[in-house]
Structure 1
């Protein structure tokens, strides 16, 4: 059974306890990126309340994830063509 880490992190002025199997450093890094993204979005939209800010942060994160997935698929197809 994989050991779970329990890490308390700060995101946008709030403390959260995150439990996961990834390393403590990885969890802290993820939390730091979320905090950074929230602060960046807030600087561009100062009137947003925290709930809307959190949703926009999630939308941005999923958008970035999907774009990376598309790039990976393209690269995998190109790699397969080179192998063929």
Structure 2
């Protein structure tokens, strides 16, 4: 197991420290993504409180995550279906089973 890394950053004017077993690069990407989403929502809702901004950010990120997860599942099923079809085609043209 890798040694946890610690990253200090600021979100909505509050200094925070995050400790993780991931890479420095991944951790920085996560912090950057959250910060970008917060800024995007802050621009869209300039009168919203910090609490509302954080809740909207969490909801937006959850929505994005679920959309990507569903797309990934569809792609996985499509790959599985096409693979089975290709195996069937190869087996019907060959005397050797591929399983």
TM over 0.5: yes
Separation in 1, partners of 2:57, 2:81: 36
Deviation at 1:34, TM superposition (A): 0.6
Equivalenced residue count is: 84
Separation in 2, partners of 1:71, 1:22: 25
Name the structure, 1 or 2, with higher relative contact order (CA <8 Å, separation 6+): 1
**Equivalences for residues 3-14 of structure 1 within 5 A:** 3-14=3-14
Separation in 1, partners of 2:82, 2:25: 37
Secondary structure of 1:25's partner?
A: helix
User: Pairwise CA RMSD of aligned residues?
Assistant: 1.0
TM-score (norm 2): 0.80
User: Rg bigger for which structure?
Assistant: 2
2:23 is aligned to: 23
Give the gaps of 5 or more residues in structure 2. 85-99
TM-score (norm 1): 0.93
Show structure 1 runs of 4+ deviating over 6 A: none
Separation in 2, partners of 1:29, 1:75: 25
Paired residues of 1:38 and 1:57 also in contact (CA < 8 A): yes
Give the gaps of 5 or more residues in structure 1. none
**Equivalences for residues 30-41 of structure 1 within 5 A:** 30-41=30-41
Separation in 1, partners of 2:33, 2:12: 11
